[in-house]
Amino acid sequence: MNKKIIVIGSTNLDLVFQTENFPKPGETIKSKDFSMLSGGKGSNQAIAASRLGGNVSFISKIGNDDFGQRSIKELNLSKVNCDYVFTDHEAVSGVAVILINEKGENSIVMAPGANNLLSVSDIDNASPIIKNAAIILIQLEISIDTVKYLLKTVASSESKIIFNPAPMHLLDDWMYAKIYLITPNESESESLTGIKITDIETASQAADYFLNKGVKNVVITLGAKGAFFKNKDEEFHIPAKKVKVVDTTGAGDVFNGALAVALGESKNWREIIKFAIAASTISVGKLGAQTASPYRSEIISNN
Ligand code: RIB
């Protein structure tokens, strides 16, 4: 069944520099290559979910500029419903400066711009579709007050909330109880729980922290090592296939988008996590976030 997925979050223009190494403080380095690509965690996750077969609507805010229009074009091409992508006429659209080193690792600085202005009244305006969502996918590149309002507003509905705590921001205790599935990476998990993940046992301890706070299900992404899942009934680790890494930017976004799709298809947890790992593994083989986001047919032919 193709359940309605709502993604709420950021839209950015990514300025991507491919360099040998990251510059040290005070150093100027030359980039080997440069690209301007549509990005933003929210927009990336919406596109990932839609390309993988989800029925996706996106709630976001852009500036009245070319950057924002460029992002809308990409979202439309990927069949994401943008009826609730609002435009602020004063602010600029979000921008991210992304450095990719030779190992495919990235370093990102983001200027939120209009993303910070996605307000509680925008959420109220979009409430008809939020109330009807089967799955709501949220990250933290928008104002935390808007995220809090959203969690409170939708709390009474039947929606399953997937919460990707990226970039890291400390959460109030009450927020955890609203979350159906939390998806931190290792460093976000450590910042939220205080537990450093060094192996499966410590991943399990970190997952317990979230479960004890009231989250129903936990997936901790482990980069090239795959992902760890835990809820009250089961826990397991699924490793990732070894592949040549070109750029890891947006791999977490593809993972989250894929989780939303698989969750809507009533797969079991192992199948859901395997599907998300397969999708994100494909995405690290290409440059960029949305440019590397796979279509459903690619997952089938890769597995
Ligand atoms: O997760 C990757 C995204 O983070 C990039 O597209 C960039 O816009 C930053 O927000």
- pLDDT 10s digits, 84-110: 999 999 999 999 999 999 988 889 999
The one-letter code for the residue type at 139 is Q
The residue that leads in pLDDT, 156 or 14, is 14
Instruction: Report the pocket of ligand 1 as residue ranges, CB < 6 Å.
Output: 12, 14, 39-41, 44, 96, 108, 110, 141, 249-250, 252-253, 289
- Cα 250 to ligand 1 centroid, rounded to whole Å: 6
Distance CA 252, CA 186 (A): 12
Domain spans in the chain, listed from the N-terminal domain onward: 4-22+31-301
The contacts of residue 268 (CB under 8 Å, 6+ apart) are none
pLDDT for 302 equals 61
Segment 185-195, tens digit of pLDDT: 999 999 999 99
Q: With bands split at pLDDT 50, 70 and 90, how would you rate the model's confidence at 156?
A: low
Angle at 59 between CA 182 and CA 251, to 5 degrees: 45
> For ligand 1, atom 2, which residue shows the shortest CA distance?
250
Mean pLDDT (whole number) for 207-225: 97
Given this model, what pLDDT does residue 158 score? 84
Give the pLDDT score at 171. 97
> How many Å lie between the centroid of ligand 1 and the Cα of residue 217?
25
> Is residue 133 scored above 70 in pLDDT?
yes
Return the active site residues. 253
Ligand 1 pocket: which of 108, 109, 286 to mutate (most atoms <8 Å of CB)? 108
Q: In CATH, what number does 4-22+31-301 get?
A: 3.40.1190.20
The string of pLDDT tens digits covering residues 232-245 is 999 999 999 999 99
Q: How far is the CA of 211 from the centre of ligand 1 (A)?
A: 28
Q: Whose CA is nearest to atom 10 of ligand 1?
A: 40
Mean per-residue pLDDT of the chain: 95
